[in-house]
Amino acid sequence: MSPRLTHFAINTDDVESTQSFYAEVFGWSFQAYGPPGFVQIVDEVGGSPIGAIQQRRQLLPDDATRGFECSFGVDDVDDIRRRVVDAGGAILMERSTIPGVGYLLAFQDPGGNPVLAMQYDADAPLDNPTVVGLR
C-alpha cells in the first residue's frame, strides 16, 4: 500500500461540546468507540467511520496536540520508523499496538509536525503490553 491518509482525529479538551459543534456545522453523526473520551465520526452515506474526536493528548514534548491529527496507512511501521530517522525526523511514540486494528507509530517531521503511521492488522494481539492509551 502506498502511504495514504486513512484516519484523522480532532483533539479537544471537551469531547462532548466539540461533538455537538461538528454535528451542527457539518451534520456529522457519531458512535462511541474504544477508550473513554473517544468517538468515531460516522459517514452519513455508508455508516462507516471517517475520523474521530478524541480527548486531547500530547505527542510533542511540552505542546498539547491541537487541530487535526492525521494517520497514514503503511505496509510496515518498522520500515517507516527507519526511514523517519534516516530522513532527520524524530520518533514521538514507538510502535504501539491497538488490538484488532494494528500497529501505530508517531513521529515528528523536520517542520515540527506530528504524524502517525498505521500498519493495519485485524489480528493485532489483544494481550500486547504496548497497547495505545489516551492521556
CATH number of the CATH domain containing 71: 3.10.180.10
Is the distance from CB of 135 to CB of 111 less than 8 angstroms?
Answer: no
pLDDT at 50: 84
Question: What is the tens place of the pLDDT at every residue in 80-102?
Answer: 999 999 999 999 999 999 999 99
**Residue 127 in domain:** no
Residue type, 132: V
**Pair 73, 118: CB distance under 8 Å:** yes
Is position 126 within any domain? no
pLDDT at 135: 31
- pLDDT tens figures, 15-54: 998 899 888 877 889 998 888 889 999 977 777 888 999 8
Q: What is the torsional sign of CA 58, 65, 134, 13?
A: positive
Q: Whose CA is closest to 81, among 94, 70, 71, 69?
A: 94
Range of the domain at 59: 4-120
Q: How many domains does the chain have?
A: 1
Question: Average pLDDT, whole number, for the chain?
Answer: 85
pLDDT above 90: percentage of residues in the chain:
39
Distance (Å, whole) CA 95 – CA 77: 7
Q: Is residue 131 part of a domain?
A: no
Amino acid 127: pLDDT: 63
Residue 50, judged by CB atoms within 10 A of its CB (0-12, 13-18, 19+), counts as middle
Q: Does some domain include residue 89?
A: yes
In a domain, 22, yes or no: yes
- Average pLDDT for residues 50-63, to the nearest whole number? 83
- Residue 92 host element (H or E): strand 90-98
All cell numbers assigned to 126: 489483544
pLDDT tens-place string over residues 100-135: 999 999 998 877 878 899 999 999 987 655 555 433
